[in-house]
A = this chain, B = another copy of it.
């Protein structure tokens, strides 16, 4: 008989999950008490949280449990590095139905553990509950190691806009999966497991990034947040953006606009930042510029090649 959450029970699942966890020296009290205790030598803690719901953020027929774990950790760790911080730990809330195979929950956990290992973070606590649909909440923590946090509000007129990581791949993967296809494999894999450029967040902070955020809603939407918070105008230069071959293939096969994947696709968790022209770090691609607002283009505006962008700029949760 397959073991399920119902037969394993809450405490059985917690025991199985925590058995395999390794804890860094920053973990003063790990899982198993009312709360964890984490050393915060910097005196400041970076905190971010995300909630993933089955059917909305992942589908069990599209992604393995392991993939869901990787992605749930990745999207939170990406938020931490987008502040210029080094991820240190996370806590996880997990809800699933009583008939879910226990193996599914353990594979999810392994995905979380393996993604954390990429950055040296520990899983320090969690909660498990019963729920009709699978729900995963992740809260991630990071250390600034003495640096100032890089906010969305620091972009200045004259800065260049640059990004590092992937743009549009996850959206292209979603597009083919939604039509019942499983290829091109590269974009399907990108949808299942984002690959945020973790090390580049703290590096950009050291290089003096004036603003930074991770691209979770889509490039134009997230630059909109930067433009709004910084009260500037941002222009994106499409000639600086290359459209990778797999995205072109998806666009050709589905009648989609390949450039739109790049401009509006979310969930790849690239990093986009603003820098003084001399400060753009190696490996980043300059794709735009920051200017002051004026009457025609008020602060908070994002333009594409100098003009407003016609289509929707990114995800809109809650709207159907």
Pull 13 A–B residue pairs with CB atoms less than 8 Å apart, ordered by A: A9-B316, A28-B44, A34-B213, A35-B142, A41-B43, A43-B43, A49-B125, A51-B135, A53-B130, A56-B130, A93-B137, A130-B317, A135-B137
Q: Could you tell me if B37 and A40 are in contact, using CB atoms closer than 8 angstroms?
A: no
Complex interface: chain B residues within 8 A of A132 (CB): 55, 132-133
**A92 within 8 Å of B by Cβ?**
yes
Q: Could you tell me if B318 and A83 are in contact, using CB atoms closer than 8 angstroms?
A: no
Q: How many A residues face the partner with a CB closer than 8 A?
A: 75
Complex interface: chain B residues within 8 A of A51 (CB): 93-95, 127-129, 131, 135, 137
- Give A residues with C-beta under 8 Å from B: 5-6, 8-10, 13, 28-29, 32-53, 55-57, 79-80, 82-83, 85, 89, 91-95, 98, 124-133, 135, 137, 139-142, 144, 149, 151-153, 212-214, 229, 316-320
Complex interface: chain B residues within 8 A of A135 (CB): 51, 53, 95, 131, 135, 137
Complex interface: chain B residues within 8 A of A83 (CB): 29, 33-35, 37
Evaluate whether A34 and B79 lie within 8 angstroms (CB atoms) in the complex, with A51-B95, A129-B51, A137-B51 already known: yes
Q: In the complex the two chains form, what is the Cα distance from A229 to B91 in whole Å?
A: 21
Closest B residue to A212 using CB positions: B34
Q: In the complex the two chains form, what is the Cα distance from A137 to B95 in whole Å?
A: 10
Given A35-B83, A51-B129, A139-B139: 8 more A-B contacts, CB < 8 Å? A29-B83, A33-B153, A34-B82, A35-B149, A49-B93, A49-B127, A51-B128, A91-B139
Q: In the complex the two chains form, what is the Cα distance from A42 to B52 in whole Å?
A: 32
- Chain B nearest CB, measured from A185 CB (Å): 28
Complex interface: chain B residues within 8 A of A57 (CB): 129
Evaluate whether A49 and B318 lie within 8 angstroms (CB atoms) in the complex, with A34-B152, A43-B39, A83-B37 already known: no
Q: In the complex the two chains form, what is the Cα distance from A103 to B52 in whole Å?
A: 23
Q: Could you tell me if B10 and A316 are in contact, using CB atoms closer than 8 angstroms?
A: yes
Q: Could you tell me if A319 and B214 are in contact, using CB atoms closer than 8 angstroms?
A: no
Taking a contact as CB atoms closer than 8 A, the residue among B37, B49, B130, B133 that contacts A137 in the complex is B49
Complex interface: chain B residues within 8 A of A28 (CB): 44, 149
Closest B residue to A42 using CB positions: B40
Q: In the complex the two chains form, what is the Cα distance from A30 to B144 in whole Å?
A: 16
Complex interface: chain B residues within 8 A of A91 (CB): 47-49, 139
